[in-house]
Structure 1
Amino acid sequence: MTDRPRIAYVGMTHLGLCSAVAAAAKGFDTLGVDLDAALVGRLEAGKLPVVEPELDDLLAHHREKIYFVTDPARLKACDVIYVAPDVPTDDQGGSDLKTLDALLALALDHARADAIVVVLSQVPPGYTRARLRSDKNLYYQVETLVFGRAVERATKPERFMVGCPDPATPLPPALKTYLEAFDCPVLPMRLESAELAKISINCCLVASVTVANTLAELCEEIGADWSEIAPALKLDRRIGAYSYLSPGLGIAGGNLERDLATVIRFSEEYGTDAAVIRAFVHNSRYRKDWAIRTLHETVLWRGAEVRLGVLGLAYKENTHSVKNSPSLALIRLLHPWHVRVYDPVVKSEVADHPNVTGAQDALDAASGVDALAIMTPWPEFKKLSPADLAKTMRGKTILDPFRVLDPKTAEAAGLDYHTLGVA
């Protein structure tokens, strides 16, 4: 091994690709391995399969430090090998680990005896220890990918949580050198603790989201405004400035749902109490229906002639992912009505609806509609003029759960404005 270990990431989906580019940006010679030759060809040509702010520029700037290949034999030259494919989930939050299992076996088979293999994909507790081999060095590291902020999270991590077969033993030099290059705390722990750490983090996030959703709905009934309350909570040191206190339409994206499902499954297996986790799931499902409830109350009762517009199809801004998207869930409930849709990244074809029309831009999606739902808070939607919307729409109803538009400006334009957390 040289002073600078050679790094590899196996599995060039969202997690592996963003992490590999971050390694190259830190000056490490980096190998991106994937068995999909077409994908590797696109990556070599600089055509990325994921949407992340700044990722294309970061790769272009550090292109000389990263190589994309299909040949797993190239792993022999690497000192630290991360296995990092995205782990898909089903509608119940269950993980499909087949691809991860195959790529981990591939990495272990081709790694040198002195190399370090690290599982980076999210797995249920017990996964890594069950795959330890006497002839290879296997560790687990908690991934902290956030869709839409993947570059920031990969290049400027808050901390590294590393699962070790024996946390009392110092980290291998190659892994230690690599992690310390990111200048953040490194927390070694037992394998099972690291696997449960990500689930624990996400449960805390869901708790914050559930509190915000529950109390924001109460605000809507009693005349309070949640946007006035949240800043006060963030000034409380016990809660913190970075708390997830923005009300929303339930949890989405797949990862949080997976972790809640994992806790429920383990609680059933071991007889522990998970009533609070089940309550999180129930609240999320209830909150997802806010948009359809509001549309029925405002316009849908008029009948099938009502025309609707939906802005945003991705489950959140700055990503192409539509996993458990509240927008798509809403559109599925609008089959009797004609719907115009627009998303800056996601094509209208993903919508499960017989009468969907894709629009050229946000204002085009609003043209001639009786109600417009802004379901994804893309930055470009914040540039919309409420006055322009009022002119192009046939009706005046706006659903803006994330307060993309300024409420006072929208109301001044004559729009019937609905958002979360305020009457």
Structure 2
Amino acid sequence: MSKPVIGFVGMTHLGLNSCIAAAEKGFELIGFDPSAQLISEINSGHFPVSEPQLVELAQKNKSHLSFTSDINELKKCDVVYVAPDVSTNDQGESDLTTITALLDLALEATRFECVIVVLSQVPPGFTRGKLKAGRSLYYQVETLIFGQAIHRALHPERYIIGCENPEVPIPLAFAQFLEAHDCPILPMRFESAELAKISINMCLVASVSTANTLAELCEKIGADWSEIVPALKLDRRIGQFSYLSPGLGISGGNLERDLATVCHFGQKNGTDIGVVRAWIKNSEYRKEWPFKIIKEKLLTVSKSPVIAILGLAYKEDTHSIKNSPAIALIKKLQECNIRVFDPLVSNSVVNHPNCYGASSAMDACQDADAVAIMTPWKEFSALRSNDIVEMLRGKLIIDPYGVLEMNKIDDLNVEYVTLGK
């Protein structure tokens, strides 16, 4: 039996990474986007996003991977995923304009027997509202993570599939593609699948909020959160893969979107959302952590210090600055002189009157009164603590994620601050 031809519509982060990862499984892939300019850039090797393995796998699978802005190419497909990124506003509300337009386009352009799958995250009720008589429409929960998108697409933990009727077998072409990934397949009604994605993120938010709350307490009473985590992971009710690393609130956009969605549906249907509002409040509180440290230890003695900010992306291995803790911190330091460096994100994204775009991490630290390592890039963990201290004019290192080696810092004449200790 020949393999089905798979198409992806929308060549932003979700669609592009999913498309290239699917090609690695040996299927013929067609990546479509209505923007001829975007497709031209992709075909020239200039991708709009950055992810580990993205460029390498695109080159490796180019014989059965094509990108086009010609809508007629979708007629070759047996399965088409509609997968544009769904943007959110400052309140975490989704803009469904693009996904709606591209879904309508896919339904019109494909063969009648082609299976259409909504991969973008949408609120409960969206997919059922798009059903067309006689067409096979499904929803699939995406679980890509910025910085790990290709790996997650190649090695899914499970596939959650939203169906009009979960008792009806999944069409052969769609099933063949899913089964190639060798993971459990969980069919369920549309609304359950759409809410499953939100449910997963709610559990993550609960873990993050718990870790942040107790890590802060550790800082005040002399405990060490990193010593407590192994005990929690050995508890079967919590588990070894639990998300227990403290952080600077919720960033990136997706988790905020799910919190906003639950609040919207809870208000609409009269269900209790008090705990969700508490998580949102906790996230806002945690984002203040680095500024509180700088205010307490530096701004009280110097009105216009020089501060090095290492990292602008909201997390490592991504270009995204959506709700970035670094950007939020910089906005609060308007009276200071800022020296910034990020391996991937240009300093042009920074809106600050006194910002110097450094050429390296060490260049940023030159004569600074303090350094804040705001993104845990791997290259920052390779920095030698004594080299940083020698470059600094002041002696304050703010390292929320514990990027630097503690045992090497203890011997230096420097004040080192990290989360949970």
Q: Sort the TM-score into its range (normalised by shorter chain).
A: over 0.9
* TM norm structure 1: 0.98
Matches within 5 A, 1:377-392: 377-392=376-391
Deviation at 1:226, TM superposition (A): 0.1
| Structure 2 Cα separation of the partners of residues 415 and 34 of structure 1 | 52
Which residue in the other structure is 1:368 paired with? 367
Residue type of the alignment partner of 1:207: A
| Structure 1 Cα separation of the partners of residues 232 and 60 of structure 2 | 40
Which residue in the other structure is 1:63 paired with? 62
Deviation at 1:135, TM superposition (A): 3.4
1:54-82 deviations in Å (ceiling 9; x for gaps): 11111111111110000111111100000
| Structure 1 Cα separation of the partners of residues 307 and 299 of structure 2 | 9
1:7 has 2:6 as partner: yes
Which residue in the other structure is 1:99 paired with? 98
Which residue in the other structure is 2:259 paired with? 260
| Structure 1 Cα separation of the partners of residues 46 and 417 of structure 2 | 40
| Structure 2 Cα separation of the partners of residues 192 and 313 of structure 1 | 36
| Structure 2 Cα separation of the partners of residues 370 and 94 of structure 1 | 39
| Structure 1 Cα separation of the partners of residues 409 and 347 of structure 2 | 26
1:185-241 deviations in Å (ceiling 9; x for gaps): 010000000000010000000000000000000001111000000111111111111
| Structure 2 Cα separation of the partners of residues 413 and 361 of structure 1 | 22
Deviation at 1:22, TM superposition (A): 1.0
Which residue in the other structure is 2:159 paired with? 160
1:111 has 2:114 as partner: no
Residue type of the alignment partner of 2:137: L
Which residue in the other structure is 2:16 paired with? 17
1:345 has 2:344 as partner: yes
1:1-57 deviations in Å (ceiling 9; x for gaps): x62110000000000000000111000000000011111011112221111111111
Deviation at 1:408, TM superposition (A): 2.8
Which residue in the other structure is 2:27 paired with? 28
| Structure 2 Cα separation of the partners of residues 317 and 96 of structure 1 | 26
| Structure 2 Cα separation of the partners of residues 222 and 301 of structure 1 | 24
| Structure 1 Cα separation of the partners of residues 109 and 135 of structure 2 | 10
Matches within 5 A, 1:123-138: 123-138=122-137
RMSD: 0.8
Which residue in the other structure is 1:397 paired with? 396
Which residue in the other structure is 2:417 paired with? 418
Residue type of the alignment partner of 1:365: A
Deviation at 1:352, TM superposition (A): 1.9
1:355 has 2:354 as partner: yes
* TM norm structure 2: 0.99
SS of match in other structure, 2:300: helix
| Structure 1 Cα separation of the partners of residues 113 and 2 of structure 2 | 15
Residue type of the alignment partner of 2:112: A
1:235-282 deviations in Å (ceiling 9; x for gaps): 111111111100000010000000000000100000000111111101
Aligned length, in residue pairs: 421
1:303 has 2:302 as partner: yes
| Structure 2 Cα separation of the partners of residues 45 and 372 of structure 1 | 38
Deviation at 1:407, TM superposition (A): 2.1
Residue type of the alignment partner of 1:333: K
Q: Note the residue ranges of structure 1 that are not aligned, 5 or more in a row.
A: none
Which residue in the other structure is 2:238 paired with? 239
Deviation at 1:302, TM superposition (A): 2.2
Deviation at 1:309, TM superposition (A): 0.6
| Structure 2 Cα separation of the partners of residues 414 and 172 of structure 1 | 66
Deviation at 1:305, TM superposition (A): 3.0
SS of match in other structure, 1:412: coil
| Structure 2 Cα separation of the partners of residues 222 and 304 of structure 1 | 30
Which residue in the other structure is 2:325 paired with? 326
| Structure 2 Cα separation of the partners of residues 409 and 303 of structure 1 | 28
SS of match in other structure, 2:236: coil
Distance change >3 Å, CA 414–CA 303, structure 1 → 2: closer
| Structure 1 Cα separation of the partners of residues 413 and 140 of structure 2 | 52
Matches within 5 A, 1:87-236: 87-236=86-235
1:290 has 2:289 as partner: yes
| Structure 1 Cα separation of the partners of residues 273 and 121 of structure 2 | 21
SS of match in other structure, 1:250: coil
Residue type of the alignment partner of 2:156: P
| Structure 2 Cα separation of the partners of residues 166 and 204 of structure 1 | 27
Q: Note the residue ranges of structure 2 that are not aligned, 5 or more in a row.
A: none
Over the matched positions of the two proteins, sequence identity in percent amounts to 56
